[in-house]
Amino acid sequence: MNDKIRRLKPSEFPEAVEWAAKEGWNPGHADAEVFFNTDPEGFWAAFDKKGMAAVISAVQYSSDFGFVGFYICREDRRGSGLGYRLWQAVLKDSVMKTIGLDGVVDQQDNYRKSGFELAHRNVRYGGAVKATRPTDQDLFDLLIDDIAVIDAFEQTCNLFGESRIEFLRGWIGNENHTAIGLKGPMGLRGYGVIRPCEEGHKVGPLFAPGPQDAKTLFEALLASRTDQDSKVFLDVPDPNRAAIDLASSHGMQPEFETARMYKGPAPALDLDMIFGISSFELG
């Protein structure tokens, strides 16, 4: 067996993002840079004589929490067992207490065999949506200097499994992303981000204490686009019925779903505040 497994170099990771685009995952224009910088040690691939043959990410936010994504095998190597060998090589000795993933539904049984348990479904909604910016005086643009406040807000409200300062540094700081918040007693009561993708734009995260605040943020983000005819996508946790109503009320339709699964203790997330997750790749 001449296959070699090793960590990806920064110059190699964009190819993995291209694979994700071909799979229909619709990555954002800046995803390669932001994702890799979150944990440069967390991206792996198997190589054969043709080059990259399979990829996976296992981003570690802390010793307690990580997230798996970008699990793709080159088409001509599918069914050969290479993808599973890569999975085992990267994850078998992991010290993380909890590992999450958003997997395609037909792989759910395979993930369960590796110790992952279903937490809930996520559904991607898409549609061509136009909007004007609401007049709410509490709306304000978020900047990179605000990431400590954002991170504290996420942790206080149980919106993510762990602190993710490095991720937020790129997600909020990227010049092509727009981040908007709503003022609250502790500085922030909700926020969202919109970014350009291979097709249209994605909104994520979208965190708010209730449907009206979520609608205000969502429409402010939509209004920030220069192309109001572009398609918009929102990845909704299925247990949040108000989030589904938000997408449906804007004419968006379900396009596909993923299974949110965890190995180890699942974080006690406040799904009622999660109207849109950040990404299927990093949680």
How many structural domains is the chain composed of?
2
**CA dist 82 → 74, 78, 95, 224, 238 (Å):** 10, 7, 23, 43, 32
Statement to judge: residues 82 and 169 lie in one domain = no
Q: Partners of 45 in the beta sheet? A: 6, 55
- The reported pLDDT for the residue numbered 130 is 87
Statement to judge: residues 37 and 118 lie in one domain = yes
Statement to judge: residues 85 and 196 lie in one domain = no
- The reported pLDDT for the residue numbered 186 is 81
- The reported pLDDT for the residue numbered 185 is 86
For the beta carbon of residue 225, count every other beta carbon within 10 angstroms.
Answer: 18
* Domain of 98, in residue numbers: 4-122
- The reported pLDDT for the residue numbered 2 is 76
Statement to judge: residues 231 and 117 lie in one domain = no
Q: Is the pLDDT of residue 87 over 90?
A: yes
Q: Is the pLDDT of residue 268 over 90?
A: yes
Statement to judge: residues 130 and 243 lie in one domain = yes
Statement to judge: residues 160 and 209 lie in one domain = yes
> Dmax of the chain from CA atoms?
63
Indicate the pLDDT class of residue 41, thresholds 50, 70 and 90: very high
Average pLDDT, the chain: 94
Report the percentage of the chain scoring pLDDT > 90.
86
pLDDT single digits (tens) 193-209 = 999 999 999 999 999 99
Using a 10 angstrom Cβ sphere, with 0-12 exposed, 13-18 middle and 19 or more buried, the burial of residue 260 is buried
Domain end among 70, 105, 122: 122
Indicate the pLDDT class of residue 92, thresholds 50, 70 and 90: confident
Residue with tokens 């699964």: 261
Among 67-76, 87-96, 270-279, the least confident range: 87-96
The answer to the question of residue 250 being in a domain is yes
pLDDT single digits (tens) 156-167 = 999 998 999 999
- The reported pLDDT for the residue numbered 95 is 84
Indicate the pLDDT class of residue 38, thresholds 50, 70 and 90: very high
SS3 string, 168-201, reads HHHHHHCCCCEEEEECCCCCCCEEEEEEEECCCE
Statement to judge: residues 22 and 70 lie in one domain = yes
Q: Give strand ranges (E) for the chain.
A: 4-7, 43-48, 51-60, 65-73, 98-104, 117-128, 139-141, 178-182, 190-196, 201-207, 231-237, 253-263, 274-276
Report the percentage of the chain scoring pLDDT > 70.
100
The answer to the question of residue 221 being in a domain is yes
Q: Average pLDDT, stretch 177-193?
A: 95
What number of residues does the chain have? 283
The answer to the question of residue 57 being in a domain is yes
| Higher-pLDDT residue of 227, 138 | 138
Q: Average pLDDT, stretch 138-153?
A: 96
Statement to judge: residues 156 and 75 lie in one domain = no
The answer to the question of residue 283 being in a domain is no
- The reported pLDDT for the residue numbered 23 is 87
Q: Partners of 55 in the beta sheet? A: 45, 72
How far is the C-alpha of 168 from the C-alpha of 163, rounded, in Å? 9
Q: Is the pLDDT of residue 12 over 70?
A: yes
Statement to judge: residues 13 and 87 lie in one domain = yes
For the beta carbon of residue 131, count every other beta carbon within 10 angstroms.
Answer: 17
Dihedral (CA of 180, 183, 126, 170) sign: positive
Which CATH number belongs to the domain containing residue 28 in this structure?
3.40.630.30
Statement to judge: residues 95 and 163 lie in one domain = no
The answer to the question of residue 163 being in a domain is yes
In the chain, the amino acid numbered 275 is: F
- The reported pLDDT for the residue numbered 1 is 58
- The reported pLDDT for the residue numbered 93 is 76
How far is the C-alpha of 15 from the C-alpha of 155, rounded, in Å? 33
